[in-house]
Amino acid sequence: MTQQKPTHKHIYDAQGKQLCCTLEDRIYTNAGAKKLIKPTHQHTHEHSHEHGSVLKTTIPIAVSMLLLFTAMAFDHFLHPEWFTGIARVLWYVATYIPVGFPVIKEAVESIAHGEIFSEFLLMAIATCGAFAIGEYPEAVAVMLFYAIGEVFQTIAVEKAKSNIQSLIDQRPDEAVVIRNNQQQTVKAKEVLVGDIVQLRPGDKLALDGILISEQASFNTAALTGESAPDTKTKGKVVLAGMINLNTVAQIQVTTAYADSKLSKILELVQNATTHKAPTELFIRKFARIYTPAVVALAVLICVLPYFFLTNYVFNEWLYRALIFLVISCPCALVISIPLGYFGGIGAASKNGILFKGSNFIDTLASIQNVVVDKTGTITEGVFSVQQVVLQPEFNKAEILAMVNEIEKLSSHPVATAIHEYVGENKLPITIENAEEIPAHGLKAIANGKELLVGNLRLLEKYGIKYDTTIANTVATLIVIAYGGKFAGYITIADKIKTDAADTIHKLNNYGVKTTMLSGDKTSVVNAVAKELNIANAFGDLLPEDKVAKVQELKAQNQSVAFVGDGINDAPVIALSDVGIAMGGLGSDAAIETADVVIQDDMPSKIPLAILVSKKTKSIVWQNIGLAFAVKTIVLLLGAGGIATMWEAVFADVGVALLAILNAIRIQRMKF
């Protein structure tokens, strides 16, 4: 998947501090995209800093607004004798400085760093020009309303940030570990794999691990967006960010602090804004051409009439040119478009869906095919043994003990089901030369003879004859061969997820074609597909077969999203237009390769991700249409001498405010 990288250009804030790379990137820097990973104890400081920043911005606005209203009252109602000449000019200069000086400073610093044509330069030229021809109130109004727009922008971005913030800083700095039968409080980064962490009710887990207490309930909202309690039993996986709800629990750490699922999520969120949607990239390129063109046109509006009109008045045409400059500022576009996408990422994360970039929002909004893996995606991935059928000449206890022993080599859910069914081995079993044969099964020498455990392809690979009628069994089939002979089989059943049917129903309603690919038996895959009304289903697939099926769809010029959770799904996730990984139980390889991560493993989040994408893209295009329509109308009126600087202010800052308010609607929507 091609990743769009932002080009580096310098933008500065009102205090001269470098903000970020490009004009539209300023949205993301304000949103704290590079400051998201903070220790929990810094929350209060960061929160107060953000509010202090807004307060510092509003004080100059309040001062300027008070002085402007007073000046206009003097001009139009009170008419004091002293408010004329140099006194009047100085009053308006004092009114202008609190809101105008920061913008002029940014324009100068941008020019110093090679950014000549920026929104700051346009407004600086327009307002200084307005002062030069005596239009003092209009000059102040342009800067004042721009400053107000900046405050609204900051508030809107903070709202978007707060939705994502629920997924951030969920790891406590410290953990209570039991070492030498004593409790010790240590830094979470210093906890070792294998350590026992003790979690009191209300405590938050800092690292991934396995529950060694008999049972405990957890609030998983940090990872899934769902606050419903999740009760875990002994041996179950618990993840960093989960909150213990009722009893003291002990967890054995399985993953280092930096490698936990939540750490990977933080990296995804941190890097999300580096992948920009085509619309954002277009606006970036457009602004680079548009801004200098606007300056050139403004000069022509001011100068050209001199050569064609006998009653040419310089001040009149300069005023029209200044109006043109103010109207032409691309604020509404460069602010509202990235803010719209950032809002979409925030709305999705609030629902436990993580987008790695806004470009994937664009692609998913118009996706044509959703291809899903079966086990762990559509089904629970929690198997249980249903039936054991062995040939009469084989000892059931011995065969099951050998199968159980060799399955210890595998982390597949099938192996777990067999372990739970057989229990601890009580027979003397020796396993030698054990190896895993990808997409087939396991092979070893057990008690001196060759043991094969896997699917039917494994028997065919080694020329083992078997009863072909068992291939029609509507269940996951684990076949066994021992000493070169077919020994029998174990049937294992998986459970379809409760929201799977609703997922497929919604996808069908969106006009999205659905396909299920699985390495499981074709009969099992077809049965699940029929029950869920999935259009196409293919079983008995190797990882390369899944890749081939997706390539077939892409060869038809159709966009494809693939949803999976296993290591073997990583290649096809990478190949698809949008790769979606189940992030709760999914493999690290799948999560790292994917473009979108679903935190709670619920397939119903797939259509929800599409819906959020569609709404986000719709809002972005509404803003583009609004900005261009209003600016075009007022530009024509301004060039014709009908519109004044007040209309220009509305066309620039007013439209930007409307676009910002429209962009944050996505964050208020309930999905």
Catalytic positions: 373
Tokens of 257: 């602090």
Residue 551 CA to residue 545 CA, distance in Å, equals 10
**Are 192 and 210 in contact, with CB atoms under 8 Å apart?**
no
DSSP codes of every residue in 220-240: -HHHHS--SEEEEETT-EE-T
| Nearby residues of 264 by Cβ (< 8 Å), 6 or more positions away | 588, 591, 592
Other beta carbons within 10 angstroms of residue 258's beta carbon come to: 11
Helix (H, G, I), strand (E, B) or coil at 283: helix
What residue ranges in 339-484 does DSSP mark as E strands?
A: 353-355, 369-373, 384-390, 431-437, 441-446, 449-454, 476-482
**175 pairs with which residues across the strands?**
186
Question: 138 to each of 181, 251, 321, 322, 641, how far by Cα in Å?
Answer: 75, 66, 14, 11, 15
Checking DSSP bridges between strand 215-219 and strand 353-355, what pairing results, if any? unpaired
Helices (H), 304-385: 314-328, 331-350, 358-365
In 137-161, which positions are buried (b, 16+ CB within 10 angstroms) versus exposed (e)?
Answer: bbbbbbbbbbbbbbebbbebbbbbb
**Are 489 and 479 in contact, with CB atoms under 8 Å apart?**
yes
Checking DSSP bridges between strand 578-582 and strand 596-598, what pairing results, if any? parallel
Helix (H, G, I), strand (E, B) or coil at 30: helix
Checking phi first, is residue 212 left (phi over 0); if not, alpha (psi -120 to 50) or beta? alpha
**Are 118 and 19 in contact, with CB atoms under 8 Å apart?**
no
Question: 377 to each of 211, 319, 499, 569, how far by Cα in Å?
Answer: 24, 63, 11, 11
In what side-by-side order are the strands of the sheet with 485-493?
384-390, 485-493, 476-482, 449-454, 441-446, 431-437
Tokens of 92: 């308006």
Provide the angle, in degrees to the nearest 10, between the axes of the packed helices 358-365 and 278-303.
Answer: 100
Helix (H) or strand (E) holding 581: strand 578-582
> Would you call 81 exposed, middle or buried from its count of C-beta atoms within 10 A (0-12, 13-18, 19+)?
exposed
Overall residue count recorded for the chain in this entry: 671
Q: Which among 456, 481, 452, 477 is positioned nearest to 468, based on CA atoms?
A: 456
Question: 237 to each of 204, 205, 293, how far by Cα in Å?
Answer: 15, 12, 59
Residue 338 CA to residue 358 CA, distance in Å, equals 9
Name the maximum alpha-carbon separation found in the chain.
118
Residue 129 CA to residue 319 CA, distance in Å, equals 8
